[in-house]
Amino acid sequence: MIVYIYDLKFETKTKFNKQKRNFYYRLKKLDLKKENFPSKSSIVVPDNKEMVMDKFFKDYKNTGNPIVVFKIFTITIEEL
């Protein structure tokens, strides 16, 4: 499994809301399941979706929207 942790950067609340709508609109097109979103700033995907998610984040960043993304490879995830 791969965990992506992301943080949308913003200057004003108006820009943040616009950027957030744009981000989630694009993310919805990937047709991920609800289980892939354990929290509001992380996405968990199987290994075979790595290239899709990498391309999504690179394309989003190339549009000029500031975002910070971390990618973590893991075998198991436990909720505490």
Q: Which residues of 13-43 are buried (b: 16+ CB within 10 A; e: fewer)?
A: eeeeeebeeebeeebeeeebeeebeeeeeeb
pLDDT at 4 over 90: yes
End-to-end CA distance of the chain: 18
56 — pLDDT class (breaks 50, 70, 90): very high
* Helices (H), ranges, the chain: 13-28, 50-62
Question: In this predicted structure, what is the pLDDT of residue 2?
Answer: 94
Q: Which two tokens stand for residue 45?
A: 């995907």
Question: In this predicted structure, what is the pLDDT of residue 53?
Answer: 94
Instruction: Round to whole Å and give the CA distance between 38 and 51.
Output: 20
13-34 pLDDT, tens digit per residue, is 888 888 889 888 998 898 888 8
| Domains delineated in the chain | 2-73 (3.30.70)
Question: In this predicted structure, what is the pLDDT of residue 13?
Answer: 85
